[in-house]
Amino acid sequence: MLSFSSKLAATLGAAAVTIGVTAPIATAAPAPAPAPQDTKPTISWEDCPEQVDIDSAECGRIEVPTYYDNPKAGTISVGFVRVPAANPEARRGALFTNPGGPGGDAYGWAGNSAVPWPQAVRDEWDTIGVQPRGLPGSTPVKCDALAASDPLRDSLQFGKLTRDACEKNTPGYTNSLTTANTLEDWEMVRRALGEEKIDIAGTSYGTYLGSAYATKYPEHTGKVLLDSGMRPKLAWNGIFASQQRGYEKGLHDLFGFIAKNDEKYHLGTTPLQVYEKWSQKVAREAGVRPTVLPPNAKIGDLPPGLEFAGQPGADIMTATGPLRVQAEFLSQKIQHPNAVQVFSPLLVMTRDLVPIPAQWDAFAKHLNGSEPMDGEQSDPEALRKHQESVAQAMNMQNLIVCNENTVPGNPLLYPSYLWANFVSVDPFTLINSLYGSGAGCGGRAPVTGQAPLDGSKLATKPLQIQATGDPQTPYQYHTSLSKPMQSHVVTVHGPGHGHFASKNKVVDDIGVHYLRTGEVTTTDAPGLI
């Protein structure tokens, strides 16, 4: 989910599994037959889309097979943006990038000036963004509105409803939305551009896509920078399920940052105090308070006169906190039956910004009213386009993750999902439980399995950047990618998701040095916060 400056377009989460799948699931994706090695697609150069604002950027498209293992099944187009190295004399090659998702917009990631790529990258590499198939700029999936009839049944068949709504207008296309096909799209763009080797910088899902490409085409791969590596074996139900606790902790980290800087923000000296002020503002906007798990209480949170209870008293507040916020929500819901917490712009903004520490200062100023953020789109046409873009990305994401899911849903999460879907509409729980339970891909079977990953044939081992407080790709799972890819791991000690090209100078310097030399000289880096 996210904006170019804040990586909101780059950090769309991932997804799920089907209900009632009876066919066996492959443990590895079938390798599409590559196009003949002498195939060099013709580039049709064209004007760049509006999200590309760098004057030197060049945009083009090529025709590729819809299915590489069945070239007779027709073709699609794949669009891309190339930002030439600003210092041609220092050019080191082409850097293929992907912002994550799956469903992140590659045009804006590579071709928008708001993304803080290190200047050395802009100077020394052609920055390439290959728009993933399924998104506008490449051949898009065209999806009707979901045809709902029975609310309960439909809530458990989300995957089928999405596939049917998209397959209707693009018949035979939806099953092609896989990592195995997308990496072949990269290969065809590489050939079209005439690059013998490419360097890679992938974030989140982009670490999986980039690793899959490097595994398939090690001879055409140079340096590989994997930022916030995902755990492929959790794809995709397990990834969403793993994010629940991560987002709750990330929210508490955000409120802890604000509390630590109370002299600046004046919102409270403990995370719980900040949470309560935030909750009150959400309630004013939506009519009901949020239900996300509150932070642990500290002694400073005890009511006046009860300070003697000390930390044991605070622990009791912590233990009763979840029930308290749910009870307050239900009380307000009875008074305002039509109130929905997710209608609060502040709540939606909060979930979007939890993984992005670079935005926490601006968020705190927005919360205290000193410097409001431009969180809402006033232009109706621009708002319509934004909503269409979000819907497109979410549909495409659902299609690819359901096509590739290998992790069964957890039925124990159904109560949480149904409560969030029909009662609380808590954005911190709804999406994670939707997919974690299996409902997100309900009614659909996967069409492929996990793409093979193996870094043993790479001339230069990848650099993998992993943060201890990452809510989207939790640190404890990073070896699932680093071991098969044989990555050098740099641990970022702090919160956030995506750390290269995110205003963390230490991480940027580590990444640039690696891309220049292939060397990794440290194992640790400080977080931005």
Within-domain flag for 122: no
282 and 312 inside one domain: yes
208 and 324 inside one domain: no
336 and 258 inside one domain: yes
For residues 12 and 103, the answer to whether their CB atoms sit within 8 Å is yes
Query: What is the pLDDT at residue 231?
Result: 95
The tens digit of pLDDT for each residue in 147-164 reads 778 888 899 999 999 999
Within-domain flag for 506: yes
Within-domain flag for 47: no
Contacts of 372 (CB under 8 A, 6+ apart): 365, 366
Q: How confident is the model at residue 7 (pLDDT cuts 50, 70, 90)?
A: very low
Query: What is the pLDDT at residue 495?
Result: 97
Phi, psi of 360 (to 5 degrees): -65, -40
293 and 355 inside one domain: yes
- Rounded Cα–Cα distance for residues 515 and 371 (Å): 38
For residues 106 and 97, the answer to whether their CB atoms sit within 8 Å is yes
CATH number at residue 497: 3.40.50.1820
Q: How confident is the model at residue 378 (pLDDT cuts 50, 70, 90)?
A: low
Q: How confident is the model at residue 375 (pLDDT cuts 50, 70, 90)?
A: low
Cis? peptide before 186, omega within 30° of 0: no
Residue 215 has pLDDT above 80, yes or no: yes
> How buried is residue 90: exposed, middle or buried, by Cβ count under 10 Å (0-12/13-18/19+)?
exposed
**Domain range for residue 282?**
242-367
Pairing of strands 524-526, 125-130: unpaired
Within-domain flag for 152: no
Query: What is the pLDDT at residue 223?
Result: 98
DSSP β-bridge partners for residue 227: 203, 465
Please, what is the average pLDDT of the chain?
91
Q: Is 299 helix (H, G, I), strand (E, B) or coil?
A: helix
Q: Residue range 184-212: average pLDDT? A: 98
250 and 358 inside one domain: yes
Q: Which residues of 32-61 are buried (b: 16+ CB within 10 A; e: fewer)?
A: beebeeeeebebeeeebbebbebeebbbbb
- Rounded Cα–Cα distance for residues 331 and 333 (Å): 5
Residue 291 has pLDDT above 70, yes or no: yes
280 and 298 inside one domain: yes
Last residue of a domain, one of 306, 338, 367: 367
227 and 268 inside one domain: no
The residue behind tokens 């074996």 is 233
- Between helix 158-167 and helix 380-404 the angle, nearest 10°, is 110
- Of 321, 340, 319, nearest to 427 by C-alpha is 340
Last residue of a domain, one of 367, 392, 411: 367
- Rounded Cα–Cα distance for residues 520 and 529 (Å): 23
Within-domain flag for 53: no
- Rounded Cα–Cα distance for residues 303 and 39 (Å): 73
For residues 229 and 206, the answer to whether their CB atoms sit within 8 Å is no
Q: How confident is the model at residue 368 (pLDDT cuts 50, 70, 90)?
A: very high
Amino acid at the residue 494: G
Q: Residue range 43-65: average pLDDT? A: 98
pTM: 0.91
For residues 416 and 130, the answer to whether their CB atoms sit within 8 Å is no
362 and 342 inside one domain: yes
Cα-only R_g, the chain = 23
**Dihedral-angle region of residue 315 (phi above 0 means left; psi in -120 to 50 means alpha; beta otherwise):** alpha
Query: What is the pLDDT at residue 384?
Result: 79
Within-domain flag for 329: yes
Contacts of 24 (CB under 8 A, 6+ apart): none
Contacts of 203 (CB under 8 A, 6+ apart): 7, 10, 98, 99, 100, 227, 228, 498, 500
Compute CA 418 distance to the chain's CA centroid, rounded to the nearest angstrom: 24
359 and 249 inside one domain: yes
248 and 350 inside one domain: yes
188, containing H or E segment: helix 179-193
219 and 280 inside one domain: no
Last residue of a domain, one of 317, 333, 367: 367
525, containing H or E segment: strand 524-526
Query: What is the pLDDT at residue 523?
Result: 98
- Rounded Cα–Cα distance for residues 226 and 241 (Å): 22
Within-domain flag for 526: yes
Query: What is the pLDDT at residue 317?
Result: 85
The residue behind tokens 């050939």 is 191
Residue 4 has pLDDT above 50, yes or no: no
Query: What is the pLDDT at residue 36?
Result: 53
Count of domains for the chain: 2
- Rounded Cα–Cα distance for residues 389 and 392 (Å): 5
227 and 291 inside one domain: no
Within-domain flag for 472: yes
